[in-house]
Structure 1
Amino acid sequence: MFETLLCSLITILPDYLYRRYGQGKRIGKEITLYSVWFELRWGITACLLLTVSLITTIFYFHPSTTNVTAAYRTVAVIPEIVGRVEEVYVQPYQKVKAGDRLFRLDSSKQQATLETARKRIAEVDAQTVVAKSELVTADAQIRQVETALGQAKDDLNTQLDLQRRNPGGVARREIDRLQSVVSGRESELAAVAAQKQTLETRIATLLPAEKSSAEAQAAEAQNAIDKTLVTAGIDGTLQQFTLRVGEVVNPLLRPAGVLVPEDAGRERLIAGFGQIETQVLKVGMISEVTCIARPFTIIPMVVTEVQTVIAGGQVRASDQLIDTQQLMTPGTVTAVLEPLYPGQYGNILPGSNCIANVYTSNHDELASGKAGTLRGLFLHAVDATAMVHAMILRMQAVMAPVRTLVLSGH
Structure 2
Amino acid sequence: MLELLLTSFPAVIRYYQLKRRGEAMTVWNMRTAMFLWAFLAFFLFLAIFYFHPKSYSGLLPFRTVSVVAQTSGPVTELAVQNWQRVAAGDLLFRIENSKQRAALKQAEAEFDKIAAAEVKAADTVKVAQANVVMASASLDKLKGDLENAQTLLARNSGSRETLRLAESSFAVGEASLAGAQAQLNLAQADISQSLPAQRKAAEAALESAKAALAMTEVRSFTDGIITQLAMSEGSPASTLILSPAMVIIPDRPEKLPLRITAGFSQVTRTTLYEGMPAEISCDTNIGLSFSNTVLPARVRYVQPAISTGQIIPGGRLVDLDERVRRGSLLVYLELEHKEQEKLMLDGTGCLVQTYTTNLSGFTGHLIAATGVIKAVGLRLKVWGSLIAGIGLAGGGGH
Q: TM-score, normalised by structure 2?
A: 0.86
Q: Which residue is equivalent to 2:130?
A: 140
Q: Which residue, out of 358, 376, 385, partners 1:391?
A: 376
Q: Distance in 2 between matches of 1:405 and 1:68?
A: 16
Q: Distance in 2 between matches of 1:55 and 1:84?
A: 66
Q: Which residue, out of 247, 267, 271, partners 1:258?
A: 247
Q: Provide the secondary structure at the position in 2 that maps to 1:24.
A: coil
Q: How has the CA–CA distance of structure 1 residues 337 and 253 changed in structure 2, closer, same or farther, with 3 Å as cutoff?
A: closer
| Further displaced range: 258-267 or 389-398 | 258-267
The one-letter code sitting in structure 2 at the alignment partner of 1:348 is M
Runs of 4+ in 1 over 6 A off after TM superposition: none
Q: Distance in 2 between matches of 1:64 and 1:405?
A: 19
In structure 2, the gaps of 5 or more residues are 394-398
The one-letter code sitting in structure 1 at the alignment partner of 2:373 is V
Q: Which residue, out of 204, 208, 231, partners 1:220?
A: 208
Q: Provide the secondary structure at the position in 2 that maps to 1:329.
A: coil
Q: Which residue is equivalent to 2:365?
A: 380
In structure 1, the gaps of 5 or more residues are 366-370
Q: Distance in 1 between matches of 2:342 and 2:30?
A: 50
Matched, 1:272 2:263: yes
Deviation at residue 94 of structure 1 after TM alignment = 0.8
Q: Distance in 2 between matches of 1:148 and 1:266?
A: 86
User: Are the counterparts in 1 of residues 69 and 237 from structure 2 also a CA contact under 8 Å?
Assistant: no
Q: Distance in 1 between matches of 2:316 and 2:214?
A: 41
| Further displaced range: 146-155 or 69-78 | 146-155
Q: Which residue, out of 300, 305, 313, partners 2:301?
A: 305
| Further displaced range: 90-99 or 106-115 | 106-115
Deviation at residue 123 of structure 1 after TM alignment = 1.4
Q: Provide the secondary structure at the position in 1 that maps to 2:183.
A: helix
Q: How has the CA–CA distance of structure 1 residues 236 and 266 changed in structure 2, closer, same or farther, with 3 Å as cutoff?
A: farther
Q: Distance in 2 between matches of 1:261 and 1:63?
A: 33
Matched, 1:4 2:4: yes
The alignment of Structure 1 onto Structure 2 pairs a total of residues equal to 384
Matches within 5 A, 1:152-171: 152-166=142-156, 170=159
Q: Which residue is equivalent to 1:368?
A: none
Q: Distance in 2 between matches of 1:215 and 1:61?
A: 68
Matched, 1:201 2:193: no
Q: Which residue is equivalent to 1:13?
A: 12
Q: Which residue is equivalent to 1:231?
A: 219
CA shift digits 1:333-375 (9 cap, x unpaired): 2222333235445633211112121111257x3xxxxx4xxxx
Across the aligned residues of Structure 1 and Structure 2, the Cα RMSD in angstroms comes to 2.8
Q: How has the CA–CA distance of structure 1 residues 405 and 190 changed in structure 2, closer, same or farther, with 3 Å as cutoff?
A: closer
Deviation at residue 54 of structure 1 after TM alignment = 1.9
Q: TM-score, normalised by structure 1?
A: 0.83
Q: Distance in 2 between matches of 1:71 and 1:142?
A: 79
Q: How has the CA–CA distance of structure 1 residues 206 and 405 changed in structure 2, closer, same or farther, with 3 Å as cutoff?
A: closer
Q: How has the CA–CA distance of structure 1 residues 343 and 151 changed in structure 2, closer, same or farther, with 3 Å as cutoff?
A: closer
CA shift digits 1:123-155 (9 cap, x unpaired): 122111111111222222223333333333333
User: Are the counterparts in 2 of residues 81 and 251 from structure 1 also a CA contact under 8 Å?
Assistant: no
Q: Provide the secondary structure at the position in 1 that maps to 2:232.
A: coil
Q: Which residue, out of 348, 354, 359, partners 1:358?
A: 354
Q: Which residue is equivalent to 1:188?
A: 176
